[in-house]
Structure 1
């Protein structure tokens, strides 16, 4: 033991000695006209004696760059970026005693870009890389004051339907990263808690490499949040408020819309501290029209129960976050972060029903009744989590990173379902109450190592993650009715997921070709314990996930890319929970503890074109899906449908995605993104023991477009539209969905303050916007529901910035807790 300690001590001393013999260079690159940092600029370190290349880096989003482990000597720096004149610094000397800060390097725009910037002030809004597309978040003025969802829905291959469900290239499953950290939660819940004003960039990773978790059949969305760009104190604050829409559908309560967010950042020396908080109240008024019938072949009857009435949401959340980064020296970096938050949502569906039962052959009415159903579904939860990261850089420039994250979430709520007679609503027919508690604990441990080998980088790592959930569900009916299967409606459902994974990948560049190849191995164990079943449901999986990406520059402004990756869409505990919930009068909802995860093959071919006035890209993609998870209906009783989750055999999607950013004139810019794909699903469906055959095929397209006009130096106008066509489901189809918006922005105090007036969900009397119909059918049922949401909403957002916020703020976000919200 003493020998081991002596050896370890000697090793540490030798490492420190080696570190002491090298220098460190840092700096930042900014634009001469806008004074803003320039991200993704190329920086080369050259020897002062012969101008030979020593090292090269690309600036971060906040314009900063670093050269580590530099031998003492004389050097010069050459900086370059597309559209700017190159810059070469005078010679300078690096010693091994202290870091050398070269300060701010200012790039001057070339003549073409100079003329454009002087008049329009436009920034580069889209970058294409080997595996992703990067979009600047603040180019979408309609999202200001909203959430990350409002930004995302403008991306070419992203759509958000009337229910708020997010899809990427037609797939609702994708992995969310916040500043590169995985968030294994429901995407809609996670993204709706991130203020749009705090976002710097959105990265759409359509062909992820092996170092990323393989979760998400649609790929990965990485949210990059803002932080201070320069040393010193930085503040950003936003407040917003809204008026009721012109058509609130006479809901019981008028919707409330207001909120605010603030971010404070302080950077000095070795410390970087960020604190942020937000509150958002975003109610939604609406109306619902439904028509349903079921057939009872045993009794030779058909029962119809059309309905209409209010369907609205009260929603609010608040979150506080803090992060601390400490650079002990140029080789050791520590970071810690904490999040606490609360989210509340109540969904009201107060519906009038007109039920009738008729003879299936003759149509003669056998009986009829009218009643009123008041339904209130409440979901709320508190979240707390913390993470700690440590990165060490060795003498050979290799790095090792250790990360740990822990989360606890307390989720609870219930559904109150009251049926009363109509018009005498004081007479109760039935009252059903489904309360639940669903606490969650989760943690993740990760070890990553990276080293330069040859002309490329080798990365490898190990990850362990686990989450446990203990759901407690109850069921009360008044007056008590005879229900043989009532015991199924209450009990416990405990789920545990454990995943061990290893990965390795190599990335490099050979002449005009950039490449990345990798392989990930994963062993996943899932266990579900049910209170009414003594035998646990277990699933153990061992899988390989290969990936490969190529990017080839074959001419000035022209690039081609190709990519492949294997992915998995895991089951959520909500989908696994078989204890039924009476969601409202006509619907029971339950999961399947034997549900299988989906395995997906993703492949793409793309072409990228950049030119003076913008850029254009087109990507052809293919998805092959095994065990696609479907949400389907079956008949539980004559007036109740059972909504369950099950697997189909297979599905596939072939599509074309295109996008462009154009500076048409000095005062007019245009962004257009579109996605066209053919989706086919077929095979057998096992619906609560009954087998059904599904075969559905349809073309689907979406269009997201935004155009902006510079009216003066301080006044601008932007209009955008999001359109989603009809699309197939396992048992039917969803209708098209249209949302237009317009915003006017006025800046003050040399741009430090801005006021934005938004006209959301524009309709202009067309009666076409912000509504969606969902239709499903089977051998013994048909159901169609039209959801009509409020239109013509006016919002005012006021923002203030002291200094500049940009780049990554390593604030944590929920890892597991939002999953069942």
Structure 2
């Protein structure tokens, strides 16, 4: 334990601090609503030299420590007129400047350049805020392309996202929880519409307790001026330079638009997008199974590609009844399609374990295609009531209906005569889902330095699963249903949550947040095939604590929280599902959720041309859910979801940005952590551990006026799993961007997964072993993707636009 605390204290020992005068205030708009993330700058009395600056938090409050002096203060935020306060006198005593009201700009926002410091990383109590504008290489892509550049986040070759080494996290879109599959949602959202990304590793009790690693909040843009705002984006990819002999040329193109009209009390927005994003790829694999004295080896290679498309349309209407009441309603509907093709040539051989010579060889060609479809409708309504100057109530509800499903087809052929079919199997999935969420939240300002939040939240999920497995009977030309691989299931889950939270300030230097969340969960899993019901009833308490202490350009933080990672339906299905030739998958209807306790200590230093932060963290997870492989027969593995044990993570992350000149800036982020998992597998104790690391570099260089180059490099080291390991993975990317302010256009050329035909980027090997088997698979994805993007804007869209998003369906997708 002493080593854990020693490492946790590293950030505190790495910074020196000096006491100065604390200055605070609040930025509001004409309706007295807070303006989040406004830039507050303090210049010398002449207004010619920038001395210090800060950014307001999400409720418009700012706090900064200054030397005693006379300053000129400038407050700015896009869509509002700049506010200049000619004289602010700072003495040796703490100073509360009160409120500053910004006026909305009624003129079209032109292209402009901010003089002075602009930081990619902002930190408030318990969270880090990253500006998407500092990661231009993601333009034309999706949110995932931004996230892979952040220090806490890693994305491997299979597209799996981890936050500080953990896969479970809660995704928010504009502060609204999403219980859908995060990667599905992130892959659909265009990077062009993102304003900021917030990472909260120790969330407050107001947030759902889901997600053992923490919370990722995606904030989208919105118009802020009266009149019409329009943004249109287009993206087109060149033909593949790295096709890997795939049958079809991948297609990559997308388009989206957001139209926003603001007038008087009305705020109306509509938007739509279409995205086609195919990826070519190749796969090499080996499976060895020992049963008795016979060793069966299956070596495979061939195409593994994805064909992905999605579209959606959305609308939002918001009305300010008066200064006290505001109502909004939104709708989002669309569809997603994904076809994974794995056409592999297998060479299967058998030999005695004591004899290297094979006594049997059986080559075959396996065609495997899995299609996933999702048609969704989401409706959301919100109402805000300002009871008084110090208190308000927010109410919200969301309804979602999603049709999930799609076939999986598995065909084995004679490689020398493709018309000679050995067997044909087909699995049909039909998974309709309905979800409902309602919440009411109360906020009250008890004093100038103390706020109280409390509320009730309810979630309900109903998810049906019908799985039918067919096998072709060639002599009669009919597909027969196989009951042992078919199932009919139903998952129902109700969650009642109560929370309270206190946010406060003390001595104008200490910010604190302490909260408690109580959740009552009822989970019913019905196996209709065997008429069995599995019930799980839980009553859990989730505390949290956040402390932040500021001294001038230094700040320090401490945080603790408890989280839960719930099971999804596919993890609980007790029937065999055959996804491809090598694996049968089965779930556990009595699978328990994971519980995580997380602790972190960190610090940040602002300096003249940049910033540096460092955070050490510890995370302990019980009921750790792992996907375990075991032997099913001599050529097929059985994949089982199970609570395998306890995992511990001890890590250190750091990030820095530095502005060399007015035209060159670099951002570097790194994360290193020790991972250990201990548990029991099939009655035998098992332990595995590794030292893991990742780093990201993002460099922006202004070549000429309005012409910039952005290069980034993402690296993920080798990491272990419960039964094996994943190899290292890296991806370099380059973008060139030209801004044409008069034409209101941005043009960009993108070169992603740079390989030059010889660098082994964008590939990864995943291996595992257990009693009687060994497996290793190398996934090789397309390199040297070249694409062009264009963005047009009529007025600027730069504040939050709260379209409704998936609460339930995308997680199962």
TM-score of the superposed pair, with normalisation by structure 1: 0.86
2:548 maps to 1:524: no
The Cα of 1:642 is off from its aligned counterpart by 1.0
1:315-334 paired onto structure 2 within 5 Å: 315-334=308-327
The Cα of 1:123 is off from its aligned counterpart by 3.7
Deviations 1:708-735, CA, capped at 9 Å, x for gaps? 1111111111100111000000000001
1:301 to 280, 294, 304: 294
2:464 to 454, 461, 470: 470
Cα distance between partner residues in 1 of 2:506 and 2:346: 68
Please identify, of 418-427 and 403-412, the stretch whose mean Cα deviation from structure 2 is larger.
Answer: 418-427
Distance 1:356 1:175, change over 3 A: same
1:546-557 paired onto structure 2 within 5 Å: 546-553=543-550, 555-557=551-553
Query: Is the 1:61–1:806 Cα contact (8 Å) retained in structure 2?
Result: no
Structure 2 equivalent of residue 48 of structure 1: none
1:633 to 629, 635, 638: 629
The Cα of 1:122 is off from its aligned counterpart by 7.1
Distance 1:88 1:492, change over 3 A: farther
Structure 2 equivalent of residue 394 of structure 1: 387
Structure 1 equivalent of residue 538 of structure 2: 541
The Cα of 1:464 is off from its aligned counterpart by 0.8
2:574 maps to 1:578: yes
2:29 maps to 1:26: yes
1:538-617 paired onto structure 2 within 5 Å: 538-553=535-550, 555-617=551-613
Structure 2 equivalent of residue 192 of structure 1: 187
Cα distance between partner residues in 2 of 1:38 and 1:818: 29
Structure 2 equivalent of residue 51 of structure 1: none
Deviations 1:83-109, CA, capped at 9 Å, x for gaps? x9961699xxxxxxxxx9862599xxx
Structure 1 equivalent of residue 402 of structure 2: 409
Structure 1 equivalent of residue 685 of structure 2: 693
Distance 1:286 1:429, change over 3 A: same
Cα distance between partner residues in 1 of 2:28 and 2:714: 46
The Cα of 1:366 is off from its aligned counterpart by 2.4
Query: Is the 1:661–1:670 Cα contact (8 Å) retained in structure 2?
Result: yes
Cα distance between partner residues in 1 of 2:103 and 2:751: 43
Deviations 1:595-615, CA, capped at 9 Å, x for gaps? 110000011000011122111
Structure 2 equivalent of residue 429 of structure 1: 422
Deviations 1:466-504, CA, capped at 9 Å, x for gaps? 1000111000112389xx995331121110111001000
2:736 maps to 1:744: yes
Query: Is the 1:416–1:432 Cα contact (8 Å) retained in structure 2?
Result: yes
Distance 1:102 1:211, change over 3 A: closer
2:283 maps to 1:288: yes
Distance 1:560 1:537, change over 3 A: same
2:662 maps to 1:662: no
Distance 1:443 1:177, change over 3 A: same
2:698 maps to 1:706: yes
Query: Is the 1:409–1:817 Cα contact (8 Å) retained in structure 2?
Result: yes
Structure 1 equivalent of residue 772 of structure 2: 780
Query: Is the 1:27–1:105 Cα contact (8 Å) retained in structure 2?
Result: no
The Cα of 1:42 is off from its aligned counterpart by 5.9
Cα distance between partner residues in 2 of 1:134 and 1:652: 26
Distance 1:485 1:781, change over 3 A: farther
Distance 1:797 1:61, change over 3 A: farther
Distance 1:605 1:151, change over 3 A: same
Cα distance between partner residues in 2 of 1:101 and 1:695: 59
Cα distance between partner residues in 1 of 2:394 and 2:547: 27
Cα distance between partner residues in 2 of 1:605 and 1:389: 36
2:192 maps to 1:172: no
Structure 2 equivalent of residue 20 of structure 1: none
The Cα of 1:577 is off from its aligned counterpart by 1.5
Deviations 1:181-220, CA, capped at 9 Å, x for gaps? 0001111111111111111100001110111111001100
Structure 1 equivalent of residue 512 of structure 2: 515
Structure 2 equivalent of residue 274 of structure 1: 269
Structure 2 equivalent of residue 97 of structure 1: none
Cα distance between partner residues in 1 of 2:437 and 2:148: 30
Cα distance between partner residues in 2 of 1:136 and 1:162: 25
Over the residues paired in the alignment, what is the CA RMSD in angstroms?
Answer: 2.7
Structure 2 equivalent of residue 673 of structure 1: 669
Structure 2 equivalent of residue 264 of structure 1: 259
The Cα of 1:361 is off from its aligned counterpart by 2.2
SS at match of 2:417: coil
Structure 2 equivalent of residue 50 of structure 1: none
Query: Is the 2:632–2:638 Cα contact (8 Å) retained in structure 1?
Result: yes
Cα distance between partner residues in 1 of 2:649 and 2:409: 40
2:153 maps to 1:155: no
Cα distance between partner residues in 1 of 2:415 and 2:693: 43
1:313 to 306, 318, 330: 306
Cα distance between partner residues in 1 of 2:595 and 2:497: 16
Cα distance between partner residues in 2 of 1:80 and 1:371: 69
SS at match of 2:590: coil
2:337 maps to 1:344: yes
Cα distance between partner residues in 2 of 1:611 and 1:312: 47
1:461 to 455, 474, 478: 455
- Aligned residue pairs total 739
Structure 1 equivalent of residue 761 of structure 2: 769
Query: Is the 1:372–1:420 Cα contact (8 Å) retained in structure 2?
Result: yes
Cα distance between partner residues in 1 of 2:28 and 2:147: 37
Cα distance between partner residues in 1 of 2:547 and 2:61: 27
2:361 to 359, 368, 371: 368
Query: Is the 2:173–2:218 Cα contact (8 Å) retained in structure 1?
Result: yes
Deviations 1:260-295, CA, capped at 9 Å, x for gaps? 111111111111111111111000000000011101
Query: Is the 2:333–2:377 Cα contact (8 Å) retained in structure 1?
Result: yes
Structure 2 equivalent of residue 479 of structure 1: 473
Query: Is the 2:675–2:691 Cα contact (8 Å) retained in structure 1?
Result: yes
Cα distance between partner residues in 1 of 2:31 and 2:699: 32
Cα distance between partner residues in 1 of 2:455 and 2:37: 28
Structure 2 equivalent of residue 684 of structure 1: 680
Deviations 1:290-313, CA, capped at 9 Å, x for gaps? 01110102xx20100100000000
Structure 2 equivalent of residue 246 of structure 1: 241
Cα distance between partner residues in 1 of 2:172 and 2:703: 37
SS at match of 2:484: helix
1:639-658 paired onto structure 2 within 5 Å: 639-658=635-654
The Cα of 1:339 is off from its aligned counterpart by 0.3
Structure 2 equivalent of residue 143 of structure 1: 138
Please identify, of 488-497 and 539-548, the stretch whose mean Cα deviation from structure 2 is larger.
Answer: 488-497
2:412 maps to 1:419: yes
2:803 maps to 1:811: yes
SS at match of 1:189: helix
